[in-house]
Structure 1
Amino acid sequence: MTDAPLDQRVSLITLGVRDLARATAFYEALGWRQVDTPDGIVVFDLLGQSLGLYPLEDLARDMGLEVADLGTGAATLACNLRDKAEVADVLAKAEAAGARVLKPAHDVFWGGHIAYFADPDGHVWELAWNPFSPLSPEGAFRWDGYGAPEA
């Protein structure tokens, strides 16, 4: 046993879904492309991590829990965007793909612009534009933002 700390990163986010085909179609309608995986799981590679879709019953079994014990959690998945207008644009695309809009695009007290939607399985997503945390040229986010590129 070592004293190595847990790396400060998230590698894979797995969402338990009731209908794998429906969930896959939803994320593909947002423009995401899946990667090759074994049958029974769908994975989309993201910037620095991956998002997996896995049948809810299989996820519960893997954890040694009943589906009812999984709950829904009080968490959101967030996607920070490059500009304010993109929040409403992506929200409209998500709604057209089958998302339920929880809160339309709006300005918030701290100076940003956000919206919330739930995917077909109820997983909550936040879309955000944060003028204080500019994204990297590739679209990566970090709390302190990415400054102008070095000359």
Structure 2
Amino acid sequence: MTAISLITLAVSDMARARAFYEALGFRATPDSTDAVAFLDAGGVVLSLYGSADLAHDTGLTDPRPGGITLALNVATPEAVAARLAEVVAAGARVLRPVRTMPWGGVTAYFADPEGHPWEITWVADFPLTADGRILLDTEQGSTATHA
């Protein structure tokens, strides 16, 4: 089985980025330092790493090429607005307010203090476990049409 085990975000201000994610409820591991933070993200590690260090390590001239969003799935449609209020209070900037999508879900987008785009979403076909993990039906396939 293939699994994503760690996602690294390039950050320009480690203290600000770490404080933001900790305000959202992510907990840093004891292995975190002033140069890198490892945050428990429910089975996946969210890593925060200095932009210049990531550029040096990867050889990329722009360590944030974009083209992705990260997501926080929630259990109810109403929870999208509540979670958006929490991230804004922690320092996020709203990119798109809460709205019902043509495919039936409810979604909103925000940028963290470093500009990384995140989605908060409720999808009826993606039930969540008590700890917030998505339960995918890999036997029959999901009927969600997220676009």
TM-score, normalization: structure 1?
A: 0.84
Supply the AA of the counterpart residue of 1:76: T
The structure 2 residue matched to 1:32, chosen from 22, 26, 29, is: 26
Q: In the alignment, which residue of structure 2 is the partner of 1:84?
A: 77
The structure 2 residue matched to 1:106, chosen from 94, 99, 104, is: 99
The structure 2 residue matched to 1:16, chosen from 7, 10, 17, is: 10
Q: Are the equivalent residues in 1 in contact too, given 2:97–2:108 (CA < 8 A)?
A: yes
The structure 1 residue matched to 2:44, chosen from 42, 45, 49, is: 49
* Alpha carbons of structure 1 residues 78 and 35: separation in structure 2 relative to 1, 3 Å: same
Q: Separation in 1 of the partners of 2:4 and 2:135?
A: 13
Q: Secondary structure at the match of 1:120?
A: coil
Q: In the alignment, which residue of structure 2 is the partner of 1:95?
A: 88
* Alpha carbons of structure 1 residues 23 and 137: separation in structure 2 relative to 1, 3 Å: same
What 5-or-longer segments of structure 2 have no aligned partner? 139-147
What 5-or-longer segments of structure 1 have no aligned partner? 1-6, 146-151
Aligned structure 1 segments of 4 or more residues deviating by more than 6 angstroms: none
1:75 aligns with 2:73: no
TM-score, normalization: structure 2?
A: 0.86
Supply the AA of the counterpart residue of 1:53: L
CA shift for structure 1 position 100: 0.8
Q: Separation in 2 of the partners of 1:102 and 1:142?
A: 27
Larger Rg: 1
CA shift for structure 1 position 109: 0.9
RMSD after superposition: 1.6
Q: Secondary structure at the match of 1:70?
A: coil
Count matched residues.
137
Identical aligned pairs, as a percentage? 47
